[in-house]
A = this chain, B = another copy of it.
């Protein structure tokens, strides 16, 4: 076990923004990033002169394959007026955004910059779905994994079936996760899906959206989710509503040296913990029901922050599939191994529950533009910790939050902990 490392300088978040997430045929990742940056500028309480930004770190998985554009970082920097400031792309598959955030933290702590823009962007929907799936599969190991026929739904289906076998989880437990996250996304104006699963079901039944429509009984929702036509099996036991969508989107954060936060806002967030770890491919793991990299990243972040799982009030976790949320909440220590699967059904992880998870709607409902997702998680934390989350604001005092971002099948995991001080 490596020794506990401490940041050489404190880091604060003083602004956050994101583009709308969805399917935007005409928008390149550059357009999406500009949209996110404009949203960020509006979020900085004292205003932001871009000339004060000293560095850009951009999370992006594969603009190479998605847009046939490499060297994205300086092009994005130029698009928001940062030339000639250094601009660096960071890639760790779907954890690219969270890892870019960590680079921004490092740049400030190292003394190389006081003011850093961290972004994430991915334009995915330009490609046909089969090519998107093939591109995402390159986040797996093309030596050992993909030649065996694995794509990502298959990887996570393997984890889901292992979890069911080991702990007795049923498909219905995962359906509760999907319903909860769509409930949250339905009140997030930036989310890809603006409806609950009940809305979805009623839209399908009535074929026209009704005002003041009655809330359907849970048994009816369950019937809908068990209907192979409405919710087809993608890779057993995962069905369509267990999978996050293909999304275009971007997000960004403004980080500053903590001692300079007051120049930007009286209500900064303090970034108090950062952890990152890696893991071998799926075939070389002791267990398929937890991610070692996520456990190690969380351990590092908790130790740096000097807090534990019980101190975390809300978390945005990497629910690329519903099973991934269940496993995440156990890897993070919120729930004991083998017990996380019941928490959505029991309401524990709902917005008004004891431990709200993915109040933004998560990747599942907000959308999953892969390189942007880790940054967008922190945008939700920014809103919740500042009491600006509107209809999805968590009740009561929210002062400590965590983000958990995973790449591949847990080959990379990165965890950050944020604190609002009174």
For A296, the chain B residues whose CB sits under 8 A away are 84
Is residue A385 contacting chain B, with contact meaning CB distance below 8 A? no
| Contact of A315 with B by CB under 8 A | no
Please tell me if A69 contacts chain B, counting CB pairs below 8 Å. yes
Q: Are B112 and A277 in contact, CB atoms less than 8 angstroms apart?
A: no
- Are B7's CB and A82's CB within 8 A? no
Contact A84 B9 (CB under 8 A): no
- Whether A69 and B278, one on each chain, are in contact in the complex, defined by CB atoms closer than 8 angstroms, is no
Docked-complex contact A274 and B112, CB < 8 angstroms: yes
The answer to whether A142 touches B84 (Cβ under 8 A) is no
What number of copies of this chain does the assembly contain? Answer: 2
A30–B144 Cα gap in the complex (Å)? Answer: 13
Q: How far is the CB of A88 from chain B (nearest CB, A)?
A: 5
Q: Chain B residues with Cβ under 8 A from A86's Cβ? A: 276-278, 297, 412, 414
* A92 with B71: CB separation less than 8 A: yes
With an 8 A cutoff between CB atoms, is A408 at the interface?
A: yes
A91 touches B110 (CB 8 A): no
> Contacts of A93 on B, CB cut-off 8 Å?
70-71
Query: Does A411 reach chain B (CB closer than 8 Å)?
Result: yes
Q: How far is the CB of A92 from chain B (nearest CB, A)?
A: 6
Beyond A64-B138, A84-B277, whether A71 also contacts B112 by CB under 8 A is no
| A97 CB to nearest B CB, Å | 12
Query: Which chain A residues numbered 397 to 422 have a C-beta less than 8 Å away from chain B?
Result: 407-408, 411-412, 414
Would B110 and A105 count as touching, CB distance under 8 A? yes
Q: CA A28 – CA B141 in complex, angstroms?
A: 12
- Contacting pair A74 B28 (CB below 8 A): no
Question: Is B54 in contact with A2, judged by CB distance below 8 angstroms?
Answer: yes
Do B74 and A278 touch across chains, with their CB atoms under 8 A apart? yes
Closest Cβ of chain B to A119, distance in Å, is 14
CA distance A2 to B86 in the complex (A): 12
Q: Are B70 and A61 interface neighbours, CB within 8 A?
A: yes
Interface size class of A (residues with CB under 8 A): 35 or more
Task: Tell me the residues in window 42-94 of chain A with beta carbons closer than 8 Å to chain B beta carbons.
Answer: 54, 56, 61-62, 64-65, 67-75, 77-78, 82-93
- Decide: B87 and A89 in contact? CB cutoff 8 A: no
Shortest CB-to-CB span from A136 to chain B, Å, is: 8
Residues 268-298 of A at the B interface (beta carbon under 8 Å): 274, 276-281, 284, 292-293, 296-297
Q: How far is the CA of A91 from the CA of B69 in the complex (A)?
A: 12
- The one of B61, B68, B71, B138 that contacts A411, using a Cβ cutoff of 8 Å: B71
Q: Does A306 make an interface contact (CB < 8 A)?
A: no
Contact code string A289-321 (vs B, CB < 8 Å = 1, else 0): 000110011000000000000000000000000
Question: Is the CB of A111 closer than 8 A to any CB of chain B?
Answer: yes
Pairwise interchain contact A412-B74, C-beta atoms closer than 8 A: yes
Task: State whether A83 touches B279 (Cβ < 8 A).
Answer: yes
A6 within 8 A of partner (CB) = yes
| CB of A208 closer than 8 Å to a CB of B | no
Task: Give A167 Cβ to nearest chain B Cβ, in Å.
Answer: 24
Which residues in chain A, 1-48, are within 8 Å of chain B measured between CB atoms?
Answer: 2-3, 5-9, 28, 30
Chain B residues, Cβ within 8 Å of A138? 64, 68-71
What per-residue 1/0 map shows which CB atoms of A137-161 lie under 8 Å from chain B? 0111111000000000000000000
Contact B71 A407 (CB under 8 A): yes
Inside 8 A of A411's CB, which chain B residues have their CB?
Answer: 71, 74-75
CA distance A106 to B73 in the complex (A): 18
Question: Can you list 29 pairs linking A and B with CB atoms under 8 Å apart?
Answer: A2-B113, A3-B114, A8-B8, A8-B9, A8-B109, A8-B111, A62-B64, A64-B64, A70-B93, A70-B139, A71-B91, A71-B412, A74-B411, A74-B412, A75-B141, A75-B143, A78-B281, A82-B278, A84-B278, A84-B292, A85-B278, A88-B92, A88-B102, A89-B91, A90-B90, A103-B106, A105-B110, A106-B106, A110-B110
